[in-house]
Structures are given as structure tokens and as C-alpha cells.
Amino acid sequence: MNAPCRGYRRAVLLASPAAVDDAHASHCEGCKRWSTSERRAAELVRANRPSWQAPVELRERVTATLEQERARKQVRTFLARRLAIGSLAAVAAGLVIALVVSRHEPSGAEGARAAVDFLVADHLEFARRGPDRLKVASASPTEVQAYFEEHMELAPRIPPLGGARLLGGRRCSLGGNPAALVFYEYVPGEGDEPESISLFVFEPRGADFAAVGETVQLGERRAVEISQRGVSLLLWEERGLVYALAGAVEAHELRRLIGVTP
């Protein structure tokens, strides 16, 4: 993909379609087909998809509250005290709640599709935002990791991306589940606009990403590539956590960023 095509597609993804100059697509057949497909998909989403995703600010407040509650271990302490005095009713209520939650949290291919929707939506949303998206602004992987260890009880590895610059990170929520979100800036080629690259790190919850994407070899481990709404995703598991690299670039460019030859 050459620089004019990349710039046009980036503009369509990161701006309102009505505000994009379609002069490039008028003489580029590939971009014309791509633009038509993207806009049809956006129209279908607007027409048929219910507004079930809460605003980012609300999701962040809910996530922060849940993390504080988990840190204090109030639920565990409550159950332990009730068990100590022999309150089987409280235990039964806790089991019923757990069953209801587990039944409503999708897994397998359904869970993977839901997770991919959140990953793509969050990447596109934060790609439009400026420095305010950063809760920790640092080019030091050690400092960014320390932030997540302190605020999320997660210890993600912050990988260096060849040719990309680490900007910092923040907490985010993927359908109510907390995730670490790391930001990089990447310039694909000379004269190209910088692209925002996102790295999400979260706990696995039974989602089968291989069922909705293409399995590829990532060094000594396997990964899954998925493309949706012009965003490429590269997902793999490491040290009991799921890593999802996202960017409005070609899939092979994500592999190259982490040091794997396409």
C-alpha cells in the first residue's frame, strides 16, 4: 500500500466520512472499493446495532470502582465472615450471582467476537484523542509497567516495537473487564502520517480468538490475526495474559513491529 492510499484510508477511519475528500478514491479503484465497503458496514452498524456500549468516562469510573473493591477484598472478606457464622443463605446467594454472571459473559467464538468489537472500537476512539488519553506519559517500559502494577494488580510486559515510539498508557475497560492499554506512535514510511498503535493486555476469559481469525506463527508461539473496520489485530498469550496489538496498518506490519519477519 503506497503513502496516498494509506493517508486516505487513515482519514476515513479517523474522521467523519462526510468530511473526507474523495478525490483520491475517484481515481484509485482499490481505495474506492474499500471506502464503499467501510461505509456500508458503518451504515449497517448504525442501523442495526443497539447502543449497548457506555461512554468511556462512565466505563472508566465503573472500572476504577471495581478495582478498588477488588483491592480491598471486601467481597472475599464478607463471604468469609458469613461462612464463619454459618450463614449458608449468603453463600447460596453468592453462588446464584456467580452463575448469573457466568451465563451472561460470552465465551468461545461469541466471546472472541465481542472482545474484538471492544478492541477495535477503543483503538479507533483513543486514536482520535490527544495527550489527554495518557494517564502515565513515559517512554520508559519500566515506568509504564510500574503504573499498571500499582493501579491494576497486573504485571504486563511492555515490549519494544521496532520503529515505534512508546508514549505511555492508561487503564481501560473491555466490556466491563479491566485491561491495560499501552500507546505507541509509528511512522510506516517516509512522508507518511504517524499511526497510533495500541497494545491491550488483559486476563483471558475463555474467548476463542482462533475461531474468528487466522492463526499465524509468532516466533516460538502461535498468534491470531484479525482485521475489522480497517484495523488489524495481532493477539497472543504470554505469562497467563492476552496481548492484543492493534493499528490501522497491514497485518504484516504489526508482525514486523514485534520483530517477526512477514
- Mean pLDDT on 47-62: 60
Which of 80, 104, 128 is the last residue before a domain boundary? 104
pLDDT tens-digit readout, 64-94:
676 666 666 655 666 566 655 555 555 444 5
Q: Is the pLDDT of residue 261 over 80?
A: no
Residues 235 and 154 in one domain: yes
20 or 261, higher pLDDT: 20
For 138, the grid coordinates are: 513515559
The domain tally of the chain equals: 3
To the nearest whole percent, how much of the chain has pLDDT over 70? 72
CA atoms within 13 A on the CB side of 126: 31
33 or 94, higher pLDDT: 33
Residues 96 and 122 in one domain: no
Q: What is the C-alpha to C-alpha distance for residues 149 and 155, in angstroms, rounded to an integer? A: 5
Quickly list H helices, the chain: 3-14, 23-27, 29-48, 56-72, 74-84, 88-104, 108-127, 141-152, 251-257
Residues of the domain holding 76? 54-104
Domain assignment of residue 156, yes or no:
yes
CATH number, domain with residue 144: 3.40.1000
Domain assignment of residue 41, yes or no:
yes
What pTM was estimated for this model as a whole?
0.62
pLDDT tens-digit readout, 161-201:
988 999 999 999 888 889 999 999 998 888 788 889 999 99
Domain assignment of residue 193, yes or no:
yes
Domain assignment of residue 262, yes or no:
no
φ/ψ (deg, to 5) at 74: -65, -40
Residues 76 and 202 in one domain: no
Per-residue pLDDT at 58:
65
pLDDT tens-digit readout, 118-157:
999 999 988 888 777 889 999 999 999 999 988 887 788 8
Residues 111 and 190 in one domain: yes
Residues 68 and 153 in one domain: no
Domain assignment of residue 90, yes or no:
yes
Residues 178 and 225 in one domain: yes
